[in-house]
Amino acid sequence: MAEKTLDCLGEACPVPLVKTQKAMESMAVGDVLIVNIDHSCAMKNIPDWARSVGHAVEIEEVAEGEWNIIIQKMK
């Protein structure tokens, strides 16, 4: 089970989501991707997308206005 971190701090939509989608493509089932973001808009669209395609998602607020989105590839 591999773990990968994607630094998207300071990036506005849609860049974090597109990067996340690209990163997920190259990962195997069971792998985990951690996306660092500080844009509230990405906080909504990345989990929305990941859930809609069936991945497991968890959001952690590491600081006020800064989050880690943890996505596990499920299929």
Give the residue numbers marked as catalytic.
Answer: 13
Containing 33, the helix (H) or strand (E) segment is strand 32-37
Residue 68 within binding range of another protein, rule CB under 8 A: yes
Q: What is the side-by-side strand order in the sheet with 66-72?
A: 3-7, 32-37, 66-72, 56-63
- Minimum Å gap between C-beta 47 and another protein is 10
Residue 23 within binding range of another protein, rule CB under 8 A: no
CA distance 4 to 68: 12
Residues that bind another protein (CB under 8 A): 1, 3, 10-15, 17-19, 21, 32, 34, 38-41, 43-45, 48-49, 52-54, 56-58, 60-66, 68, 70, 72, 74
